[in-house]
A and B are shown apart, each in its own frame.
Chain A
Amino acid sequence: MADRNVLILALGATRRRAALDDAATVAADGGTATILVSDPAAWRNDKPAPGVRLVAQADLEPRPGWLRWEQLVLYRLPRRALKGRADRAWRAYRRRVADKLHRKVFLPLARRGAETRPAHLIRQHVTAVGKLDLVVVNDPASMPVAVSLLHTYGGNELPRVAYGIGDR
């Protein structure tokens, strides 16, 4: 029987083609495939098959409401102010000022006090559509996360684990 709900852990983005092919196979069999990634930018040239969800790990984290204002002040308003000027100025501002402030000041503040527990968040997300049938560990960087995810099950109703759809 085809797996209904499959999570493909591809956090290292080093075997993207295999992740996309595996996800496409699951979707073609009528299942739900979620590819969990760490850096969505690394996947910008890759198009998942219809029905495949590409989810950034950071998007699973709870975000306080004020983070929207931070995005407005730090990114959207400056982008508008620099509209029409050379793209180079915008890119330099984003790299040297906005990204640094976001990463080093506002993101840690947003996470402070919140229990993020990545493995629980991943499980919560993928099981929202039903029981998780299979975890495909797609690259080395995903291995520690896969172990943490499996530990959240505590031995009950464990999903199967494979390194590719072919050897599930």
Chain B
Amino acid sequence: MAVVTPWYPNSHHPFAGAFVQAMVEATAPGTDMTVYHCAEWGHRLPAAESAAVESAYETLLGYTHRPPRPTPTAGGARLITVPVPLSVGLSYAAIAKRHEVVLRSALGNEPLDAPVVHAHVGLPGGWAALKNSRPGARIFVTEHATFLDRVLEQPEARAMYDELLQHCAGFFAVGDPVRDPLVKAFPQHQDRIGYVPNPISFAAERAEPVRELRRWLFVGNLTERKGVQWLVEAFARCRADDPELTLTLVGDGDLRRALVKQAADLGVADAVRFTGMQPPEEALRLMREHDLLVHPSRFETFGMVVVEAVAAGMALLVTKCGGPEEILAGIEDAAGEMVDVEESSDALVAGYQRLRDRLAAGLDLRPVREQLAGRYGYPAVAEAHHGAWFAREGSDG
């Protein structure tokens, strides 16, 4: 089978598509899987140079391989990276069509040689898969995109999405924040849009259970959508009461410099560490060495980092930003504290204080870990995928 994805971890973007890699790691065993990573190489070149790039790339494909050589990846699958040079600022429809054309060219104008194709992200991944699959292939799509509302606002992209939904054998959203806008936009396809969560590994355990909330951790992009400026402010306020608190921020982004300055201005620079981007395995290791995951995001479609933190045995301080509410529905209190999305640090500070007091009173995080392992662990998610992919095995060749 084939997996087509615009996101996959690589040395340039170690975090990008970690959930796709996790899905591959969970589902590839027992299958013959090739992952086609259509990696977007954005540029701001003038139109003439952009055209020269497209022409040169076509020539280069003659020198390399069609498709480029595979390398081993997670779960015993093969990974083929297909660069997709893209002018920054194209419409979502244009981006998806570019993925379609480049993948076709990289395949030497042959369709994907697989009876089952699973794509990530409707546009561009699903579209590229739909237009490059062989006749009779069954196409599945998982949608994760946080920018889905903007895709559906563009008429051409919306029409392409409609076509994709009509032709795919199965369509999965990773949560309600993704499914709801799709059902609203395409009520005629409501019954075709199901759920499948991102898989999380629960294999590694921390050495000691969390007993105090001294070592704070944030994992993600340092952007406004992640609410990191409120995190640093909340940390400084809480540290005024407990000078032993530390904060580690794993990730990078536009706000990094501003956050470094903010930490200095608030007098907590010596307690705040910026690690920059780290490979997923390093981020998971850091989770096992910290006590509290603070996830102050404004909006998340799923919130993979929240489940990873539970798997690492961390306590959670999470905003009600979409995906995490769904993940923790019914077990919020057992996992930590869930607070409102506010444009201030008040809710985070109050949430931390409540959780600190509850932990001191004997909060046990282990039952939550066991419960989420049953929903998001590799075996559960692999079973869901294999059930969909191979439901008609034998009739598809």
B-binding residues in A (CB < 8 A): 12, 14-15, 17-18, 21-22, 137, 139-141, 143-144, 146-147, 150, 158, 161-164, 166-168
Contact = CB atoms under 8 A, between A and B. Distances in A.
A3 to B, nearest CB: 14
Contact of B12 (A18, A137, A146): A18
Contact of A167 (B12, B52, B60, B69): B69
B42 A144 contact: no
Contacts of B83: 140, 163
Interface in B1-19: 10-12
Contacts of A147: 56, 59-60
Closest 5 CB pairs of A and B: A140-B85, A18-B12, A143-B56, A21-B11, A144-B56
Main secondary structure of the interface of B (DSSP, over half): mixed
Given A22-B11, A161-B60, A166-B71, 11 more contacts: A12-B45, A17-B11, A21-B11, A140-B53, A140-B57, A143-B57, A143-B85, A146-B60, A147-B56, A167-B71, A167-B81
B52 to A, nearest CB: 5
B12 A15 contact: yes
A104 B56 CA distance: 29
Interface in B42-68: 42-43, 45, 49-50, 52-53, 55-57, 59-60, 63-64, 68
A146 B53 CA distance: 10
B54 to A, nearest CB: 9
B48 to A, nearest CB: 11
Given A14-B43, A18-B11, A163-B68, A143 B60 contact: yes
A155 B63 CA distance: 10
Contacts, number: 71
B64 A161 contact: yes
Contacts of A140: 41, 43, 45, 50, 53, 57, 83, 85
A54 to B, nearest CB: 17
Contacts of B43: 12, 14, 139-141
Contact of B41 (A14, A146, A168): A14
A167 B42 CA distance: 20
Given A12-B43, A14-B43, A143-B53, A163 B63 contact: no
Contacts of B68: 162-163, 167
B63 A141 contact: no
B11 A163 contact: no
